[in-house]
């Protein structure tokens, strides 16, 4: 896996204002949290600005998922750091988190006025299925990019079912997957 610091000069480094504006836009117009942001971040960072390659982006997603904290903040910090070191990490994190903070602040200020409004409740019920779709699409795209096939799809499905049906800790699933990947990569695959 490529580290965050492996390539000191990415294809096209964005300026601080461009970084902030791009990540503010991503943070402002993404419903459903970090995973729903993946296709938008990819479109902006990989396709439009070419700040990182597709392979680097997949590596950064893997790193961001394995770190504690909010996924959207993690991925923005890693991309910002990749481009402009610490100042870039601060700028991209602020750009990503500021819209959510401002929106939640406004909702908290006025929530008591519309919390029992049937129109607002209906709007939130309508948004839920769209958020599921926004999370499902990047999941399938990541599976395709990671090389998940019909022969290996049982691994993520089994892990999800173990967590959902049997209450297995996600940490245990991650540890078992890491051990399994290590065993496969060092003992089984070389002999094939």
The CA distance from 17 to 91, in Å, is: 8
The CA distance from 99 to 95, in Å, is: 7
Q: Residue 96 in contact with residue 90, Cβ under 8 Å?
A: no
Looking at residue 15, its pLDDT comes to 66
pLDDT for 31-43, tens place per residue?
A: 767 677 888 899 9
Looking at residue 4, its pLDDT comes to 46
Residue 73 has pLDDT above 70, yes or no: yes
Looking at residue 2, its pLDDT comes to 46
Write the DSSP assignment of 20-43 as a string of letters.
HHHHHHHHHS--SSHHHHHHHHII
The verdict on pTM exceeding 0.85 is no
Which residues lie closer than 8 Å to 47 by C-beta, 6 or more apart? none
Residue 105 has pLDDT above 70, yes or no: yes
Q: In the predicted model, what is the mean pLDDT of residues 104-109? A: 85
pLDDT for 3-59, tens place per residue?
A: 444 444 444 566 667 999 999 999 888 776 767 788 889 999 999 999 999 989 988
Rounded to a whole number of angstroms, the CA Rg of the chain reads: 19
Looking at residue 56, its pLDDT comes to 93
Residue 167: left (phi > 0), alpha (psi -120 to 50), or beta? left
| Residue 65: band (very low, low, confident or very high) from pLDDT cuts 50, 70, 90 | confident
- 111-117: list long-range contacts, CB under 8 Å, 24+ apart: none
| Residue 1: band (very low, low, confident or very high) from pLDDT cuts 50, 70, 90 | very low
Looking at residue 13, its pLDDT comes to 60
Query: In terms of DSSP H, where are the helices of 6-153?
Result: 16-28, 34-41, 54-66, 71-114, 118-145
pLDDT for 115-172, tens place per residue?
A: 778 888 888 888 888 888 877 887 887 788 778 888 788 888 899 899 999 999 999 9
């Amino acid at each position: 896996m490529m580290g965050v610091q492996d390539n000191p000069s990415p294809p096209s480094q964005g300026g601080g204002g461009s970084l902030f504006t791009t990540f503010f836009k991503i943070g402002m117009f993404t419903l459903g949290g970090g995973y729903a942001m993946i296709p938008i971040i990819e479109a902006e960072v990989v396709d439009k600005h070419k700040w990182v390659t597709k392979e680097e982006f997949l590596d950064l997603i893997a790193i961001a998922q394995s770190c504690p904290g909010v996924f959207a903040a993690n991925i923005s910090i890693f991309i910002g750091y990749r481009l402009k070191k610490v100042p870039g990490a601060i700028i991209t994190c602020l750009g990503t988190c500021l819209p959510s903070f401002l929106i939640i602040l406004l909702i908290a200020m006025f929530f008591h006025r519309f919390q029992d409004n049937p129109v607002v409740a209906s709007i939130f019920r309508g948004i839920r299925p769209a958020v599921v779709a926004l999370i499902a699409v990047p999941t399938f795209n990541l599976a395709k990019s990671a090389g998940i096939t019909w022969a290996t799809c049982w691994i993520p499905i089994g892990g999800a079912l173990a967590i959902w049906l049997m209450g297995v800790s996600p940490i245990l699933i991650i540890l078992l997957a890491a051990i399994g990947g290590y065993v496969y990569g060092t003992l089984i695959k070389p002999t094939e």
